[in-house]
């Protein structure tokens, strides 16, 4: 199983600012994903981070709001831009080696004030 | 719309009983299915995965898959208070993105 390090683990940010979340995997993985989990809700997929190309976003999520980078097979970042209180959530990075289970980072608990 | 459906619960069982968690999925192309456990404030933790029809046992956990009925279940034998958590069912198509259900909250009463 892959070990995923995600940081920061939590942050409190002012509205209108941006936060970049980093995700580092201890081995090369095929797929990396970013999820959001609102309080008491399940995981909602934001996008698939593609190595060497633009991320693939799910309905309701756009690149201008959630730019994603994936410069190599072990690292990805998610930026939450121009934040508002509605962006307060837990953001989770996930990695998968293909037709296998997905593993998760520790999550980033974001509060926008 | 590809979906994974779960009863949100809460499901309450006494300590030592069998907890039965159920899940249905709409995408017949789904090949792999997973059960994650999530404690409050923590990330999901994989506890079982299953690819083939039938049962798969691992300790106190048994996952069951019926592709004809598009049904997945998780049985927890000898339930313990430490099993109290939200259990997320997930399906994956051909190794691509994983779709999660809303989760079932389980309470095991001591």
Residues A29-48 pLDDT 10s: 888 999 999 887 888 999 99
Measured between CB atoms, does B91 come within 8 Å of chain A?
Answer: no
Write the DSSP symbol of residue B17: S
In a mutagenesis test of the A interface, which of B21, B43, B49, B88 is the best target, namely the one with the most A β-carbons within 10 Å?
B43
Cβ separation A43–B97 shorter than 8 A: no
Per-residue pLDDT tens over the stretch A52-84? 888 999 999 999 999 999 999 999 999 999 999
**Widest Cα–Cα separation across chain B:** 41
Burial of B29 (0-12, 13-18, 19+ CB in 10 A): exposed
How many Å apart are CA A31 and CA A15, to the nearest integer? 31
Measured between CB atoms, does A42 come within 8 Å of chain B?
Answer: yes
How many Å apart are CA A25 and CA A32, to the nearest integer? 9
Measured between CB atoms, does B101 come within 8 Å of chain A?
Answer: yes
Measured between CB atoms, does A33 come within 8 Å of chain B?
Answer: yes
How many Å apart are CA A2 and CA A95, to the nearest integer? 8
pLDDT, residue A99, reads 57
State the residue for tokens 């208070």.
B81
Model confidence band, residue B95 (pLDDT cutoffs 50, 70, 90): low
């Amino acid at each position: 199983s892959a070990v995923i390090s995600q940081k920061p683990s939590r942050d409190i940010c002012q509205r209108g600012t941006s936060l970049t979340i980093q995700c580092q995997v201890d081995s090369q993985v095929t797929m990396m994903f970013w999820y959001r989990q609102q309080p008491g809700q399940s995981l909602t997929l934001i996008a698939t981070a593609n190595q060497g190309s633009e991320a693939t976003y799910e309905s309701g999520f756009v690149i201008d709001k959630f730019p994603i980078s994936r410069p190599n097979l072990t690292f990805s970042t998610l930026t939450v831009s121009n934040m508002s209180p509605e962006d307060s959530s837990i953001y989770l990075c996930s990695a998968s080696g293909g037709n296998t289970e997905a593993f998760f980072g520790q999550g980033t608990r974001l509060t926008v004030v | 719309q590809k979906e994974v459906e779960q009863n949100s619960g809460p499901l309450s069982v006494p300590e030592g009983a069998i907890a039965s968690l159920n899940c249905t999925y709409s995408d017949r192309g789904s090949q792999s299915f997973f059960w994650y456990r999530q404690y409050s404030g923590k990330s999901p933790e994989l506890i079982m995965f299953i690819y083939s029809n039938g049962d798969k046992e691992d300790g106190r956990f048994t996952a069951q898959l019926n592709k004809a009925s598009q049904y997945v279940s998780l049985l927890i034998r000898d339930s313990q208070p430490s099993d109290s958590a939200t259990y997320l069912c997930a399906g994956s198509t051909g190794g691509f993105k994983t779709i999660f259900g809303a989760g079932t909250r389980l309470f095991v009463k001591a």
